[in-house]
């Protein structure tokens, strides 16, 4: 095979591999979006917008569900913290914190939790993704 044909062959293989990786990423986002729609959107909003006046306490003393888009504070937390909040509930992270959000560990497996978090993160602008990635790097998710 000539050098030119080898380079073309390599280019095709790389393109196929990249397309496969992109397809896998889209499939992950789709599965994460589906988990979000089924388990999170009823409180956090179909468009990750959260409940109205999410910073003001309800008559119960609890806070409404915050947005998970760039206007909220989700991106202020590391992957480890976010994973634990979803799996165990916010009260597991903040002793004595009263919330309407349950832990989803009995409902979602670890892969589903990771997929929904990946979906949420995929919607953020680059700045928020960069800040959150830096927080995650300094607070790694333990297997």
Q: Do 54 and 63 contact (CB within 8 A), yes or no?
A: yes
32-68+76-138: CATH superfamily: Cytochrome c-like domain (1.10.760.10)
Residues 46-81: pLDDT tens digits?
999 999 999 999 999 999 999 999 999 999 999 999
Select from 114, 100, 102 the least CA-distant residue to 36. 114
User: What percent of the chain lies above the pLDDT cut of 70?
Assistant: 78
Distance CA 69, CA 75 (A): 8
The model's pTM is 0.77
What's the chain's average pLDDT? 83
Q: In whole angstroms, what separates CA 90 from the centre of its chain?
A: 15
pLDDT one digit per residue (tens) for the chain, 143 residues = 454 444 444 334 344 444 443 444 444 457 999 999 999 999 999 999 999 999 999 999 999 999 999 999 999 999 999 999 999 999 888 887 888 999 999 999 999 999 999 999 999 999 999 999 999 999 887 65
Query: Residue 115's pLDDT is what?
Result: 97
* Ranges of each domain in the chain: 32-68+76-138
Phi, psi angles (nearest 5°) of residue 26: -65, -40
């Amino acid at each position: 095979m000539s050098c030119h044909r080898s380079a073309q062959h390599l280019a095709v293989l790389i393109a196929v591999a990249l397309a496969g990786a992109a397809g896998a990423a889209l499939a992950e986002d789709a599965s994460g979006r589906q988990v979000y729609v089924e388990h999170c959107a009823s409180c956090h909003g179909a468009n990750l917008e959260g409940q109205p006046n999410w910073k003001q306490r309800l008559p119960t003393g609890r806070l409404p569900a915050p947005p998970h888009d760039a206007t909220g504070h989700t991106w202020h937390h590391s992957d480890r913290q976010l994973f634990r909040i979803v799996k165990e509930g916010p009260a597991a992270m903040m002793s004595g914190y009263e919330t309407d959000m349950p832990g989803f560990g009995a409902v979602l497996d670890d892969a589903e939790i990771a997929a929904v978090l990946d979906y949420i993160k995929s919607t953020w602008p680059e700045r928020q993704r960069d800040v959150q990635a830096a927080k995650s790097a300094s607070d790694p998710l333990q297997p």
